[in-house]
Amino acid sequence: MNEKSADIDEVGATKFLTPEVIKAAVGLVKLGKVYPLGQVLEPGIPQLAHHPAFVRTPLNTPYQSQLRWRERGANNEPGAASERLEINGHTGTHIDALGHWSNCNRIYGGLDARENFTEKGLVHLGLEHCPPIVTRGILLDIARLKGVEMLEGGTAIAVQDFQAFLEQARLKLRQGDVALLYTGWSKLWEKRDPRYCTTEPGPGRDAAVWLAEQGIVALGTDTMAVDVDPPEDPAYPRMTHQTMLVERGVHLIENMYLEELAKDKVYEFLLVALTPKLKGGSGFPIEPVAII
């Protein structure tokens, strides 16, 4: 790459996470109630066909550990359990790094995707550049807006849908927010229904652009891959990925558990999502929480 590191925008829309934005978000906490927003991570969870499955292998048993401590003279029988994990970074509830997605061999900031991807990970726009996300979260419950428990796969959510829900909830998206889209699709995750991985509702192209224009720093959904699938135009798949990651520098959070927020009609809250500093990582599981 010829670009100088000092000239490269590594943080994208998270630059909107100013002290003022964070302080205002913390002020939303009144009850001290926490909503976990991550799915349980275990072997057998839904995964895209081209992604390897999550594998957990026992590595160290408490008894094996006891034997080693005995050899060192311990009398209190200490033991420890550990395991080896083989995991694709895009497994379970996870965040996409800005360097994860490319279009026409270009990633966010116009960098060459082919040069940016190496055996050691992403040269630029890896997860180590994603700051702690502490900000106001807004739940967009489009299933409730439509009067259904779950949107159908292939449903393209329109700008007017988002605007109508926000008007009903008497809320507005602000710069620095995280928008969470509730479609009800995670009910299929819980049932291990194969439809979860083969089709899904999601923002239409215009709606994705509109969301990004509101200044959000991340978009999270209760679906496998955020995008509507099948796409509106088969020649242009994954347009929300393109809009958010490539064009706007907005992170994506996939496979979220939003059922409790939707059930309790919690639409505004403090959102906390801490990303592991995986150097060159294109994505990794996280455990976001909403606090009211």
CATH of the domain at 45: 3.50.30.50
**Residue 243 three-state SS:** helix
For residues 81 and 95, membership in a common domain is answered with no
| Shared-domain flag, residues 82 and 93 | no
For residues 266 and 137, state if they share a domain. Answer: yes
Q: Into how many domains does the chain fold?
A: 2
Pair (79, 159) in one structural domain: no
pLDDT for the residue 7: 86
62 and 137, same domain (yes or no): no
287: Cα separation from own chain's centroid = 9
Q: What is the pTM of this model?
A: 0.95
Give the 3-state secondary structure of the chain.
Answer: CCCCHHHCCCCHHHHHCCHHHHHHHHCCCCCCCEEECECCCCCCCCCCCCCCCCEEEEEECHHHHHHHHHHCCCCCCCCCCEEEEECCCCCCCEEECCCCCCECCECHHHCEHHHHEECCEECCCCHHHCCCEEEEEEEEEHHHHHCCCCCCCCCEECHHHHHHHHHHHCCCCCCCCEEEEECCCHHHHHHCCCHHHHCECEECHHHHHHHHHCCCCEEEECCCCCCCECCCCCCCCCHHHHHHHHHHCCEEEECECCHHHHHCCCCEEEEEECCCCCCCCCEEECCCEEEC
Q: 276 near 245, Cβ under 8 Å? A: no
User: Which residue, 236, 11, 226, 280, is CA-closest to 103?
Assistant: 236
| Same domain assignment for residues 69 and 150 | no
Query: In DSSP terms, which residues pair with 156 in a beta bridge?
Result: 202
**27, 94: one domain:** yes
Helix (H, G, I), strand (E, B) or coil at 229: strand
Q: Indicate whether 156 and 199 sit together in one domain.
A: yes
Last-in-domain residue among 40, 71, 86: 86
Say if residue 34 is in the same domain as residue 158: yes
60/191 same-domain check: no
Query: What's the pLDDT score for residue 2?
Result: 54
Residues 20 and 162 in one domain: yes
Q: What is the pLDDT of residue 6?
A: 65
Residue that is last in its domain, among 86, 103, 133: 86
Q: pLDDT 10s digit of each residue in the chain, 292 long?
A: 555 566 899 999 999 999 999 999 999 999 999 999 999 999 999 999 999 999 999 998 999 999 999 999 999 999 999 999 999 999 999 999 999 999 999 999 999 999 999 999 999 999 999 999 999 999 999 999 999 999 999 999 999 999 999 999 999 999 999 999 999 999 999 999 999 999 999 999 999 999 999 999 999 999 999 999 999 999 999 999 999 999 999 999 999 999 999 999 999 999 999 999 999 999 999 999 999 9
* Shared domain check, 70 and 32: no
Full residue range of the structural domain in which residue 64 is found? 55-86
